[in-house]
């Protein structure tokens, strides 16, 4: 089920995002549970996260226990936490600086070895532990690049994609079934990237996709078109999977479709 939140005003989009995230957290905590959220990297989410950080300290959200919220990285670079390239460092800066959200709630990858598969396997174990073994996030936040990639799933990653299977996610020939977090070499970037898999993304209780900027208009319009090939616009797999689904996908955008 796709819900589109369109506004020309960016400030309005930020408020819509913060309201949606806090609503999910409040519902989960009201039921006595902890909230597990997957964070998008990249430049687009930064101002959305800053708005959430500002909202976190407001009196209307004083009942939220932010120490019962775990934020995992949906994608990451092979970089030290204090590097400008680190999505973890950027998430902590935008979500936690001067905020009610504790730094400890953002879970970093441990980039202390030069074996990416071991790093991603360790992070996957932490995700599974936080989600009770299911790997299912309460919310996954995604962005989309002008080239149509989402998380660190690029066109080359999805080469050889098959049809949707009965569980609602795509089988990708070079991603093992049951994998939730992987490392892989991205030819387009000439670097190793870490990312949630399509399976991890599509088993989330809710997905919010943030897409802003006119430079992304062409890719977004292609992504929401059912006939689009995943090897051209990887983000299309999210829209194709949720088109007739019962779980909610919210697109927050300043691009008119």
221-246: average pLDDT: 86
Instruction: With beta carbons less than 8 A apart as the criterion, state whether 115 and 123 touch.
Output: no
CB 202 within 8 A of CB 151: no
pLDDT for residue 246: 62
CA angle 62, 65, 70 (to 5 degrees): 135
For 44-102, the pLDDT digits (tens) are 999 999 999 999 988 788 889 999 999 999 999 999 888 999 999 999 999 999 899 99
User: What is the predicted pLDDT for the residue at 31?
Assistant: 95
Beta pairing partners, 106: 71
Confidence at residue 29, expressed as pLDDT on a 0 to 100 scale: 95
Model pTM score: 0.93
DSSP-assigned beta bridge partners for residue 5: 252
Q: Which pLDDT belongs to residue 40? A: 98
CA angle (14, 58, 97) in 5-degree steps: 70
CA 243 to chain centre: 18
DSSP for 66-122, written as a single string: GGGEEEEESEEESS-TTSTT-HHHHHHHHHHTTSSS-GGGEEPP---SS-HHHHHHH
Asked if the model's pLDDT at residue 37 lies above 80, the reply is yes
What does the pLDDT read at residue 153?
92
Residue 158 · residue 172 · CB < 8 Å: yes
**According to the model, what pLDDT value does residue 231 have?**
81
Residues 247-257 pLDDT 10s: 789 999 999 99
Where residue 227 falls among pLDDT bands split at 50, 70, 90?
confident
pLDDT of res. 158: 65
Per-residue model confidence (pLDDT) at position 244? 61
Percentage of the chain surpassing pLDDT 70? 91
CB atoms near residue 122 (< 10 Å): 14
Q: What integer pLDDT is reported at residue 162 of this predicted model?
A: 39
| Record: fold of 2-231+243-253 | Rossmann fold (3.40.50)
pLDDT in tens, 119-137: 999 999 999 999 999 999 9
Distance CA 152, CA 39 (A): 12
Task: Determine which of 13-22, 31-40, 105-114, 142-151 has the lowest per-residue pLDDT on average.
Answer: 105-114
């Amino acid at each position: 089920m796709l819900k589109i939140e369109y506004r020309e005003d960016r400030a309005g989009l930020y408020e819509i995002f913060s309201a949606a995230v806090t609503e999910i957290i409040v519902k989960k905590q009201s039921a006595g549970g902890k909230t597990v959220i997957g964070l998008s990297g990249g430049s687009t989410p930064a101002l959305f996260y800053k708005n959430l950080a500002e909202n976190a300290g407001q009196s209307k959200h004083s009942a939220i226990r932010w120490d019962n919220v775990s934020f995992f990285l949906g994608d990451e670079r092979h970089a030290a936490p204090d590097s400008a390239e680190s999505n973890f460092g950027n998430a902590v800066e935008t979500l936690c600086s001067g905020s009610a959200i504790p730094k400890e709630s953002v879970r970093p990858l441990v980039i202390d070895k030069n074996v990416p598969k071991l790093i991603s396997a360790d992070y996957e174990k932490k995700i599974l532990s936080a989600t009770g073994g299911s790997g299912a996030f309460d919310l996954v936040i995604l962005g989309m690049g002008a080239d149509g990639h989402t998380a660190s799933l690029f066109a080359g990653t999805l080469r050889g994609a098959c049809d949707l299977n009965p569980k609602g996610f795509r089988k990708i020939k070079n991603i093992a079934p049951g994998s939730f977090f992987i490392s892989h070499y991205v030819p387009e970037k000439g670097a190793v990237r870490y990312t949630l898999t399509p399976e991890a993304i599509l088993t989330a209780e809710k997905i919010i996709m943030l897409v802003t900027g006119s430079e992304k208009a062409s890719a977004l319009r292609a992504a929401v078109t059912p006939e689009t090939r995943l090897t051209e616009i990887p983000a299309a797999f999210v829209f194709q999977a949720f088109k007739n689904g019962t779980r909610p996908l919210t697109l927050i955008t300043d691009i008119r479709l």
